Structure 1
Amino acid sequence: MTDSRRITTPFSFASTAAEVLDGVDLAGRRAIVTGGASGIGIETARALAGAGAEVTLAVRNREAGERTAEDVIATTGNKQVLVADLDLADRASVQALTEAWDGPLHILVGNAGVMASPEAHTPEGWELQFATNHLGHFALATGLHGALAAAGGARVVSVSSSAHLRSPIVFEDIHFRERPYEAWSAYGQSKTANVLFAVEATRRWAGDGITVNALMPGAIRTNLQRYVSDEEIERARARAGGGGARWKTPEQGAATSVLVAASPLLDGVGGRYFEDCAEAEPNRPGTRTGVAPYALDPEAAERLWQVTAEMLAA
């Protein structure tokens, strides 16, 4: 971190990704966006490509990835939009991508995720949301550490959510083997993990010139909510703001992601959590904005890193 002061920018809730990167030149930079073929991933990729970066869409659905790449190329004129296969819940898939990557990597956006899914576990016995949202991105980032270090000033973006306010890491039973499964608690725990990863990765990798930040993109109706009914969405909105929580467009939802990924305003800044294009305030009890203290706790961050490394090494 540069200092302890809260970071603000000229951008806001309503800003779009294109506005955030207006005038930013990313020519010669290489980026990976996980989940780059749907929702805010598309607009994150489009903004980065529009600023001149080479962008690789790391996706589960190759056909959707190819369609998105064609669309981004057509709208930006940047032909350096590539597609790579990635299933974050499959260790072999993550390893294949990291081993195939050649050369430096300047920007890694951990955007893909699964939300409030029915109970499911990977072959290793890992709860699916934690495996996808945290373990897969952790394995991807650590597997690409050499490429990030080689870039000089690389940035890693950990897309979290206000749902992190629903649960800290329950270290005693991360994978719901003893406690009853609850989809939103599982999602919340995985999103807390995304923030803690940013805290510990920045501490460990700052010497390599790598900074890592987490963010809340905002409320955007995308395929991420495929397991969530419209009724549940409306109840969540009511809890968030007395029925007044505002939706963002995908272009607005991607704004904080690209701010963290590429804005010069955040040079040298790491280990923080952003929302609406500014560093978040501490959460106030009874609200659904801001960041929970447990999500920025350095001891929890270090413990999670160790636990995660042990899981992936098993």
Structure 2
Amino acid sequence: MHNIESDSEDDLAGGWEQKSTEDGNVYFVNSCTNKVQWTHPTTGRKKVIPKELPFGWIQTLDDSGKTLYVKQETGSKTYVDPRLAFATEEKAHVTDFRQRFDSSTTAFQVLHGIDLSGKYALITGCNSGIGYETAKSLARHGCNILMANRNMEATQNAIKDIVRDTNASEDNLKSIYLDLASLDSVKKCASSVKTVFADHLDILILNAAVFGLPYTETEDKLETTFQVNYLAHLYLTLLLEPMFKKGTRVVFVSSESHRFAYLKNVFIQQNIAMTKDTFSSMMAYNNSKLYMIMIAKILSEEWKDKRVCVNSLHPGNLVYTNLCKSWWLYRLFFSMVRPFTKSLQQAAATTVYVATASELSAVTGLYFNNCFYCPASELARDKDIAWEIFAISLKMIADRMGTDAILKYIDKCKVKNSNDKTQ
């Protein structure tokens, strides 16, 4: 695991000490010369620390009135501000940050010292697999979790397991019914979220997915992989938009398989969901993950002024989860490669990183892999095709559910299409 403070250029020379002010600024003191300065003596850069203490720490006073920090779990005490362990350099640009973690990092390591108390997160597909590890990791650090799943019995069992394994409060874990194969269910779920989470949502993680299904259609007469993985998540996100505030993070869990997606121009113009005659289960999955990256980019631009951050990511290659349960051959293959792939905790790390890392507080429109951003495929970065897919998606939703909550985006697509034709 990489640590942002472990690079040799950050090491302090002899005599220098790093200290902090109560309002989150870092300064440096030379005990030999009594020199005090705001910039790092080696790098020349300013540093800041979180305003809140790391998770599990409290601040008190000793008998002489001096500030003392206590770690509640162990009772250990120190006069050194524990926030200094999480000091970061001030950024010249929002994407100016170093890689702190890698493919071996776990979600628990990403969340070290982070206090999510008072935060509200909704996660789809989280009663097992990567989604479960994501929910467990966030709940362990005090986050209020709304687990949106179809199987309510499995969700209640998952809640009990999380409470048992993390000592999270059961009051912080709630369930809500969501069947992504039904756009009507998506609409009902969205309308119910406010009754659970009042008027705002800090984190939305769109994690649920199916893989390797034979051709089937949902009640909305759409191919199942396309609707469950992509279209229903898009609809849910647009319905929940009124709950987004400055700092809300929307996380689209995509996949590196998006690089193997294949679109024909005529295919896009007619229908972005595969028909029975053209269906390939693997290509349906690849395309659905491509769409998620494209739409995340579009929404990141649409909501930039609102300071809502929208990013997408790849959790890991061939991670063994219920995703492969649709066919025995997939189960066998995933079992064979299991020793060489990420654990569920490692697979959840990038999702948790994108949802919580302080250095990403203003970062939007990027694609992440192994807890760091990387370029998506060339096709995923094609803005014209992305807007075409967005427009067709909105029409598919409108034809089935009406234009509530999506009308302004339909109008924007019309304006953009009109402008493109006149150029």
Whether these two folds match at TM > 0.5 is yes
2:345 aligned partner: 251
DSSP 3-state at the match of 2:278: coil
Where do 5+ consecutive residues of structure 1 fail to align? 238-242, 283-290
1:279 aligned partner: 373
Query: What's the offset of the Cα at 1:311?
Result: 0.8
**RMSD over aligned Cα atoms:** 2.3
2:205 aligned partner: 109
DSSP 3-state at the match of 2:252: strand
Query: What's the offset of the Cα at 1:127?
Result: 1.2
One-letter amino acid of the structure 2 residue matched with residue 252 of structure 1: Q
Q: 1:82 aligns with which of 157, 171, 174?
A: 174
Q: Deviations over 1:258-300 (max 9, x none)?
A: 01111112111111111111112x4xxxxxxxx3111122222
1:1-314 to 2 correspondences below 5 Å: 8-79=98-169, 80-102=172-194, 103-149=199-245, 152-169=246-263, 170-171=267-268, 172-177=270-275, 179-219=277-317, 220-230=319-329, 234=333, 246-280=340-374, 282=375, 291-314=376-399
DSSP 3-state at the match of 1:71: helix
Query: What's the offset of the Cα at 1:52?
Result: 1.2
CA contact (8 A) 2:300 2:308 kept: yes
Q: Percent identity?
A: 31
One-letter amino acid of the structure 1 residue matched with residue 228 of structure 2: T
CA contact (8 A) 1:173 1:179 kept: no
Bigger-Rg structure (1/2): 2
Query: Which consecutive aligned stretches of 4+ in structure 1 deviate over 3 angstroms post-superposition?
Result: 2-8, 228-235, 243-246
Query: What's the offset of the Cα at 1:201?
Result: 0.8
Length-normalised TM-score, structure 2: 0.66
d(CA) in 2 for partners of 1:87, 1:231? 24
Distance 1:161 1:8, change over 3 A: farther
Distance 1:311 1:28, change over 3 A: same
d(CA) in 2 for partners of 1:244, 1:11? 22
Q: Deviations over 1:144-189 (max 9, x none)?
A: 001113xx20001100111112214551442223742111001100
Where do 5+ consecutive residues of structure 2 fail to align? 1-91, 400-423
Q: Deviations over 1:73-103 (max 9, x none)?
A: 2222222011111011111111111111222
Length-normalised TM-score, structure 1: 0.88
The structure whose residues are more often strand, as a share, is 2
